[in-house]
Structure 1
């Protein structure tokens, strides 16, 4: 009632504040900033460079700092940077702000997921992550509706264009929730700071610690050095497989920044109707993500719960390439959005409970995985060539290829972890103990 609601809201604004550029594109944004050719794709892509630069150092720091202060601090900073986009007058200024925005937003996602994995067990984590991830889905679903309302009511007010008000309004609300988070976020279970100091008594705190110790896979280490944790993460093949799974997934998710433009190509009506029609696929995607994550936790299975939704996404990409019929292509977007969301609702929870030999290793590993994943967000905007609108056949084929790679890597990791479990079981038999195994 404290951790989940506030990180859900902050993640919603974390995504709104970097994705609102896709709604601004439908206003006079490109004309006023004199953007041409691939300038928009560069502005979309550059934010991920900031992510890549900041995520690993940030997650190394968070194990030594108070998350209840560290994460809200960055939320307040990124809100101000996002709002400042309304004042930019040139392509160069936009690129500089987007790069700084990436640096400021980078600590939040890997940091908050590290915090979640310190409070929730393997069988609880996927559904909690789906709740967090649905903040992204809800942000994407409502961003079009919010943009439509702002464009309709504030465009021209005080001499500012609709796209400028979009950045200002969303940044201001995000800033307010950043301050609220300071009061509501807990620190780690063993701490007596943040909301933990009034949320849990001593007995409840002991239970919170003990259940996480019991849930840890039977390959834990005692060395708590952050540099040792970084070394363990870099040398673990499982970390890199998860990293390339995320890279493939983020590459397949490259349609996101262009989805309003894709829907505009369906010629469904006015700008308001176009923005409204971007919402339903994301709402359905959120519901699918909840269902997949709930099933994954209940069945204590991860691999097939990732590969199956990805298969659905692949079908959606194939349909988008194969036809020009608007109703069919709109239906196909439901398939690939729901498929990618359903898979992503599970993959990070699988990673966090698999690469956790020490808390420091887990923090470093999650940053490495997310950094590598961001590479997909760097290059995927360049898949879309305006000359290929509205079908974007090259982009859809590339998204399809990365989705197929995602599924193959996922199933390969499942085989590797099954072998690891056999080794742990054999070791447990020799020692007369019952080991805690990896979730497959």
Structure 2
């Protein structure tokens, strides 16, 4: 018995519970059969003829992937017996079902989050609460604090409760509080409702990102993340137009001010949508329907198997996602450097977004425009932002390194900040508004791209879930800090505030370049262990497939064997020689 087989036997005797998954049916296999499977994999790598005979005689030449779970001893064997056309058809069907629901959920989240900026343009609210920059900044900080406190707990809860149940509850809860905002009459009520809206919205964004990762392959996530964040951008682009109409046509109707109608109408729509969300969002490939639905499913059993297995083939670590995230997973993620690099990028870059989010309509109004025109104009840069992020999302897959797209957005943001700050006080309103549009077009897009960049570089689904929650927390920590940058004694040009934002942006750009270097450095270490492996897209990889690649064995789960090289599994739960990070 050679050393390699000896290591394999020790690992198997430590964890002997084995199951196999063939053609969508779970069935027990014996220890001898498992040994034969492992030995067969070794022989395949040594002799091409043996591969051809073995695969053709047992699996009709289909690609086979064997996944061995080091945590449970479970073995899953997946046969890729579906065509690319079948897979693409199912993906399109999946897009049609999932994307509209989570898109509109994010739309409502941003509407209830950002409509406070439109409400500030109503003098009735300003006079009732005697609002100034200090009080507005306190409300912004309390909102972000609610998200920071509940982000990870809610994200962990999502994995213990059905997605259709938990996410629906969140939409209902925050929309109800958002509706009740129309009834506060003092500063304390204002502060409490802002905190509650933030707390109840916590977890929705990383929860949906994690949910998408259970349905889509790594190469597909970038575009789906963009479509998801389009809900945010669409709300930002339309909220000003909606608020302008409400403030003009409903102020004083029914004894309510315009700002009250904004909160009431936009909140009550979310309450109604939460029931639609609950009724139609599918949970998992194992249960491709809403939680309550036990009869009618979106996909047949065969289609559900393909949807599940294609994810395992793309990312074997997702095969162990049945164990729910716990405090150990949170601690393990906290100890890794990769999430923290992306967290730092987010904290520093998102402070511009936070600083402007509550003030864009007010800044525009200070240029000499009226209430209606200020709210309507605030939507213009948001539409430009939607075009920019779509172009960046499509091109980011082809731009190497991937972090270059984020650096481009942050440099754009930096240039716009410098231009807006350096404009003379005598500059025309049109010039100042144009500079503001260029700035707002870029803000937040770096965060969207950074989220996708982090997601494709985290292998474990549980670690990915925690890391994404950390990223959203970071965005709101940036919100707490950034919300204090623009102050009364600096208005209306905010030169000191924009200088602080410029310094933070320079730091963000440097962090992006460092993170790119860090990923390249990790890949060099992997090349020393496994040899050079070019980073190629999915289609190029298919063209390079050989008979040798028809059968592959990978190990997933935490490393429980001392014989494994710890450096080999750094920042990943999958021992897969072809794996490389995406700089």
TM-score by length of 1: 0.93
Partner of 1:328: 431
Mapped contact 2:392–2:405 kept (Cα < 8 A): yes
2:521 to 402, 408, 419: 419
Mapped contact 1:11–1:132 kept (Cα < 8 A): yes
SS of alignment partner, residue 63 of structure 1: helix
* RMSD over equivalenced CA pairs, Å: 2.3
Alignment of 1:107-146 (within 5 A): 107-146=203-242
CA distance in 1, matches of 2:443, 2:121: 25
Offset at 1:329?
2.4
Partner of 1:259: 360
1:82 matches 2:82: no
1:198 matches 2:297: yes
Higher percent of residues as strand: 2
Alignment of 1:312-323 (within 5 A): 312-323=412-423
Alignment of 1:16-415 (within 5 A): 16-27=111-122, 28-36=124-132, 38-194=134-290, 198-216=297-315, 224=323, 226-253=326-353, 254-267=355-368, 269-299=369-399, 301-324=401-424, 325=427, 326-357=429-460, 359-415=461-517
Mapped contact 2:119–2:125 kept (Cα < 8 A): yes
SS of alignment partner, residue 102 of structure 2: helix
Offset at 1:187?
1.6
CA distance in 1, matches of 2:98, 2:370: 40
CA distance in 2, matches of 1:25, 1:240: 35
CA distance in 1, matches of 2:119, 2:191: 15
CA distance in 1, matches of 2:224, 2:400: 14
Change beyond 3 A, Cα 1:208–1:300: farther
> May I ask how many residue pairs the two structures share in their alignment?
438
Offset at 1:168?
0.1
CA distance in 2, matches of 1:421, 1:214: 21
CA distance in 2, matches of 1:282, 1:217: 38
Unaligned segments of structure 2, at least 5 residues: 1-95, 533-551, 554-575
Q: Describe the superposition over 1:382-426 as per-residue Cα deviations: whole angstroms up to 9, x where unpaired.
A: 111123222111221222222222221111111111122223333
CA distance in 2, matches of 1:219, 1:153: 52
Change beyond 3 A, Cα 1:307–1:135: same
Offset at 1:192?
4.0
SS of alignment partner, residue 397 of structure 2: helix
Mapped contact 1:229–1:361 kept (Cα < 8 A): yes
Partner of 1:439: 582
Q: Describe the superposition over 1:161-216 as per-residue Cα deviations: whole angstroms up to 9, x where unpaired.
A: 01001100000111111111112212233434428962222222222222322333
CA distance in 1, matches of 2:283, 2:317: 25
CA distance in 2, matches of 1:219, 1:420: 22
Offset at 1:15?
0.9
Q: Describe the superposition over 1:104-154 as per-residue Cα deviations: whole angstroms up to 9, x where unpaired.
A: 111211111111122222222222212221221221121111111111111
| Higher gyration radius (CA) | 2
Unaligned segments of structure 1, at least 5 residues: none
